Structure 1
Amino acid sequence: MEFFGKHKTIILITLGVIVVIGIWWGFSQETPSTSLIETQASSGVSPEDRGLVDTLLQLRAVSLSGTIFSDPAFMSLRDFGKQVIPEPVGRPNPFAPVSTRPTTTKETLQSTQLFSPKRP
């Protein structure tokens, strides 16, 4: 009885986990099918696979030609895209306080390079 008194919480937690696992396992089992005899299609191909094959065969029958590009309707189309204008690059350190002159010097450039080896 002394063993149960010392380890009561561990024993109760273990029993609780076992009960929860048993309930979960019992509810997660699949129910048996209602029919005892199941028939398979003689071709061995499911309807989903057959639909995929039909779609692929339709796509194979499509032929593309370049005549659409010489069509007057295509020639009348206009491009509404905008040209991207290159803009100047921002400051070397965008988090530095704004000042009237750049604050980068040779010493600051060498100290900010994190992955360059130190020269003797």
Structure 2
Amino acid sequence: MQFFSQYKLYLFLGVAVVIAIGAWFVLSEPSQEELTTTSVNGSGVDKDLVGTLLQLRTVSLSGTVFSDPAFQSLQDFGTQIIPEPVGRPNPFAPASYRPTSTASGNKLFPAR
């Protein structure tokens, strides 16, 4: 309590300065910066992309590719995927957990 009575004037001036600075930031108008806009005309890369897309639009796919001898001479080097056994019903359960059978019916809501 002695601190407040001893430095009352300094505390009052400090609070007044903080309020004055806050009011100045809140009430001052933002600076009027002129916004500049630049227009970008189509560049060479854009024109090349549009040209390529127009060429792709004219491509038509037909089934004649599959009857071509070059396509039929292709060999499949893929590997067969062998089915693996399924793991535990709940992989996050402890190892000593044994699942219970639900053959006896619903235990939460038994039949009446």
| TM-score interval, normalised by the smaller of the two chains | 0.3 to 0.5
Computing the radius of gyration over CA atoms, which structure comes out larger, 1 or 2? 2
Which one scores higher on RCO, CA 8 angstroms, separation ≥ 6?
Answer: 2
Higher helix share: 1
TM-score of the pair, normalised by structure 2: 0.47
Alignment TM-score, normalising by the size of structure 1: 0.45
